[in-house]
Amino acid sequence: MFTPPPQSILIFEHVTGGGLAGEPMPESWAVEGAAMRRALAAEFAAGRPAPRVIVALDPRLPDEPGPWRTARVDSIERLEALTREADCTLLIAPETNGVLEGLIRRLGRGPTRLLNASAQAVALAGDKAAMANRLRSRKLPTPRTLLLEADDRPPDDWNYPAVVKPVDGAGSLDTFRIDRSEGFLKLPGRGGRLLLQEFVPGRPLSATFLVRPFCRPRLLAVGEQRVEIVDGRFSYGGGRLPADDLVGLDVDPLAKALTAVPGLEGLVGVDFIHDPGRRRIAILDVNPRPTTSIVGILGLTRPGLLAECWALNEFEDEDEWCDMVDEIADDVEIAGPILFASDGSTFRLKDAELVPVGRKEAGLPPRWLAVDIGGANLKAAHSGGAVKASPFAVWRDPIGLAAALKGLAAGLPPFESIAVTMTAELCDCFETKRDGVRRVVDAVIEAFDVPDLLFWGTDGAFHDHKATLRDPLVAAASNWLGLATVAAGLVGDGPAVLIDVGSTTTDVIPMAASGVAARGRTDTERLRNGELIYAGVSRTPVCALAAELPFQGSPTGLAAELFATTRDVYLVLGDLPGDPGDSSTADGRAATRDRAVDRMARMACADRESCSADDVLDLARAADRALFDRLLASARRACAATIGTPTTAVVSGSGEFLARRIAEALVGPSGTVRSLAELWGPAASDAACARALLELAAKWEAERAGE
């Protein structure tokens, strides 16, 4: 018996734990989960009869305009309240750490109908050891499997190569191939319950089924997975639908694997290895949830058809439903092949080239790339969740900026639109800041050919490249305002301050109930008001912090030479990680703590023979205190002139550890400090200006769509 068609559907995708479900999810899941969320929201919105679609978004994510209503969710209680507004709810989450099972158990008690498998089914399928035993007991082909507890070791008689993975993992996360028993002891982060499996050679494939109560599972498609093994680690990169050369493939064991898990419903995947030479398969996993292959399936079928089969239509009998589901399978076979990436990008092969499949037809927003172009570093944030930074000294090679921007984007998912902010125009390789902005704009145009190319301005608005070239100074040193505009939305009505400590500079931006309360707009004005301090945690020369510092028990003058920078201070103190492969230091030697000790000693015209490591540690503490005092004094002056004593602070940047100390001194014990590393992740906090620009670009896109 089928339930009436729903009038409203809530779609929620678990991005990070926070107050919802425990530990944060890996960044790879955030990217893949977002792709599934957008694709399935568009699919249900296109169905007939058309339901009202509600997309529940984490408040830290940028807006996603589309044919749906967006609701912000910051707690499980808020999510429960939203489910009471919806006839049906679809949860998109991994089985890892019991996240999906926990959400189903909690929300399944309410009035909404969950379009997910039961909690019991998720628990069984998510426990790979139990699932392997279940498949073996039903004589279904699956690799030899052994559960290893925390202190166990592989048995001596195990055959290699072998696969080691978490007992509740998803998406090839922390999955390794080892070629001998010694490899098990060298696995990174080894601990907890692990699964040891026989390595089965062959093609990695995945079958997607639609499962509905009282009906037998129907196969939608079999796709090929793009799985690579790099340095022994498995990596999932998307796949192809439909897979080619499947002659002789027996899918009956795959359907039987689903019957081994009572309570499955909705989209379900079966991962398996196919050895066509031996005409055999080995079932690896049953995924009791949508997987990224769904973006490929939806790219090959009529919009809304899957939603109608899944939840929107009533059917006279099972045969009628099966016939309609078979239409999807036929569409995939006829319209394919299509290639898809783990971030949801889809491509077709045309004239030996991969051509991106458009998104507007599916009602999806464009993919944005936000770029922050500094004088020493390039930072980018992608709307799919990826963040990337790379050093590039614009003043040394301004002509190479376009190539550097292409390199920055090369490892990121595809995008159709770009938002840009900059500070590189101040580099002394340019005659003026006006000339610098124009040169940066030219480099961006050379690097990227996209329909939407926007430059953020100090007037708090986006400008196209033509307007920016006509009035270049509007885009000069604009990145701080983008971050401050977004940060102002994260605090309440009370006086607040944004403190962003980067590698070279520190921004202190007062904020009030009306928004950004900074007195300065240009760098010169901001320097004058204490809102910009040219000091950071990496590139600032130590000799610029003070004329003298305590050394070996006495005030000692510092050498006015570039012997060491603040990066050495924080390498010595352990606040920044070392990097033996990085030689972009004052002496060109490795960015390690040992080398940093040598560089810091030279600030007092000493060396490792004339001073101890403790002497240098004391010198580093004094240098840190000098920087802290300088930044705190500027922050107090900036706040006193505009908002008084702040009650809330937002901290970010590669030096967020220092920004937090300053913030705590400003707001006092009764104040609140909000960390963008905790809200967005450490990489996004480091690239906070680019990450904030994504939210502003999404707002711009939504406003344009509403015109």
Calculate helix-pair angle for 593-602, 613-640, nearest 10 degrees. 80
Per-residue pLDDT at 361 exceeds 50: no
Considering 118, 141, 174, which residue would you say is the last residue of a domain? 118
- Is there a contact between 409 and 369 (Cβ–Cβ < 8 Å)? yes
Question: Does 307 lie in the same domain as 435?
Answer: no
Determine how many CB atoms are found less than 10 A away from the CB of residue 218. 21
CA torsion through residues 184, 190, 191, 193, sign:
negative
Q: Which two tokens stand for residue 582?
A: 């990085």
Per-residue pLDDT at 57 exceeds 60: yes
Query: CA dihedral in degrees (124, 130, 131, 132; nearest 10)?
Result: 180
In a domain, 617, yes or no: yes
Angstrom CA distances, 45 to 251, 267, 318, stand at: 32, 17, 25
Q: What is the C-alpha to C-alpha distance for residues 338 and 448, in angstroms, rounded to an integer?
A: 25
In a domain, 353, yes or no: no
Q: What is the C-alpha to C-alpha distance for residues 486 and 510, in angstroms, rounded to an integer?
A: 13
**Higher-scoring residue by pLDDT: 68, 117:** 117
Whether omega for the bond prior to residue 682 falls within 30 degrees of 0, making it cis, is no
Q: Which two tokens stand for residue 215?
A: 């009906």
CATH label of the domain that carries residue 557: 3.30.420.190
- For residue 18, what pLDDT band results from cuts at 50, 70 and 90? very low
In a domain, 14, yes or no: yes
Note the pLDDT of residue 554. Answer: 96
Q: What is the C-alpha to C-alpha distance for residues 31 and 167, in angstroms, rounded to an integer?
A: 22
DSSP state of 491: S
- For residue 470, the number of C-alpha atoms closer than 13 Å in the C-beta half-sphere is 5
- For residue 358, what pLDDT band results from cuts at 50, 70 and 90? low
DSSP state of 342: T
The burial of 99, by beta-carbon neighbours within 10 Å (0-12 exposed, 13-18 middle, 19 or more buried), is given as buried
Note the pLDDT of residue 238. Answer: 83
Q: What is the C-alpha to C-alpha distance for residues 142 and 148, in angstroms, rounded to an integer?
A: 18
Angstrom CA distances, 356 to 345, 418, 462, 545, 557, stand at: 7, 16, 26, 51, 61
In a domain, 352, yes or no: no
- For residue 679, what pLDDT band results from cuts at 50, 70 and 90? confident
- Is there a contact between 129 and 149 (Cβ–Cβ < 8 Å)? no
Determine how many CB atoms are found less than 10 A away from the CB of residue 189. 6
Considering 579, 610, 628, which residue would you say is the last residue of a domain? 628
Considering 597, 628, 659, which residue would you say is the last residue of a domain? 628
Of 129, 97, 104, 32, nearest in space to 264 by CA: 104
Per-residue pLDDT at 24 exceeds 70: no
Backbone angles phi, psi at 574, to 5 degrees: 85, 10
Note the pLDDT of residue 684. Answer: 85
In a domain, 222, yes or no: yes
CA-angle at 398, arms to 396 and 403, nearest 5°: 110
Note the pLDDT of residue 597. Answer: 97
CATH label of the domain that carries residue 26: 3.40.50.11770
Which tens digit of pLDDT belongs to each residue from 154-182? 888 898 999 998 887 666 667 889 888 88
Per-residue pLDDT at 28 exceeds 70: no
Note the pLDDT of residue 477. Answer: 95
CATH label of the domain that carries residue 425: 3.30.420.40
Determine how many CB atoms are found less than 10 A away from the CB of residue 46. 21
CA torsion through residues 409, 411, 412, 416, sign:
positive
CATH label of the domain that carries residue 210: 3.30.470.20
Question: Does 225 lie in the same domain as 76?
Answer: no
Question: Does 108 lie in the same domain as 128?
Answer: no
CA 257 to chain CA centroid, nearest Å: 33
Q: What is the C-alpha to C-alpha distance for residues 615 and 623, in angstroms, rounded to an integer?
A: 12
The overall average pLDDT reported for the chain is: 88
SS3 30: helix
Which tens digit of pLDDT belongs to each residue from 613-664? 999 999 999 999 999 999 999 999 999 999 999 999 999 999 999 999 999 9
CA 539 to chain CA centroid, nearest Å: 27
Q: What is the C-alpha to C-alpha distance for residues 108 and 93, in angstroms, rounded to an integer?
A: 15
DSSP state of 14: -
In a domain, 675, yes or no: no
- For residue 62, what pLDDT band results from cuts at 50, 70 and 90? low
How many folded domains does the chain comprise? Answer: 4
- For residue 266, what pLDDT band results from cuts at 50, 70 and 90? very high
Question: Does 260 lie in the same domain as 397?
Answer: no
Note the pLDDT of residue 213. Answer: 80
Which tens digit of pLDDT belongs to each residue from 78-92? 899 999 989 999 998
In a domain, 533, yes or no: no
Note the pLDDT of residue 30. Answer: 55
Question: Does 132 lie in the same domain as 63?
Answer: no
pTM metric for this prediction: 0.58
- Is there a contact between 294 and 208 (Cβ–Cβ < 8 Å)? yes
Question: Does 87 lie in the same domain as 185?
Answer: no
- For residue 344, what pLDDT band results from cuts at 50, 70 and 90? low
Question: Does 311 lie in the same domain as 246?
Answer: yes
- Is there a contact between 117 and 90 (Cβ–Cβ < 8 Å)? no
Angstrom CA distances, 512 to 448, 485, 518, 670, stand at: 37, 11, 9, 18
Domain housing 547? 542-628
Of 395, 467, 466, nearest in space to 436 by CA: 395
SS3 276: coil
Residue type, 508: V
Question: Does 82 lie in the same domain as 163?
Answer: no
Backbone angles phi, psi at 622, to 5 degrees: -70, -40
Question: Does 215 lie in the same domain as 339?
Answer: yes
Question: Does 280 lie in the same domain as 220?
Answer: yes
Strands (E), 402-492: 417-422, 452-456, 462-464
Backbone angles phi, psi at 148, to 5 degrees: -110, 125
Give the DSSP H or E segment for 371.
strand 368-373
Could you tell me which residues are beta bridge partners of residue 164? 176, 196
Q: What percent of the chain has pLDDT over 70?
A: 91
Residue type, 177: R
Question: Does 429 lie in the same domain as 550?
Answer: no
In a domain, 528, yes or no: no
Residue type, 350: K
The burial of 603, by beta-carbon neighbours within 10 Å (0-12 exposed, 13-18 middle, 19 or more buried), is given as buried
Question: Does 557 lie in the same domain as 440?
Answer: no
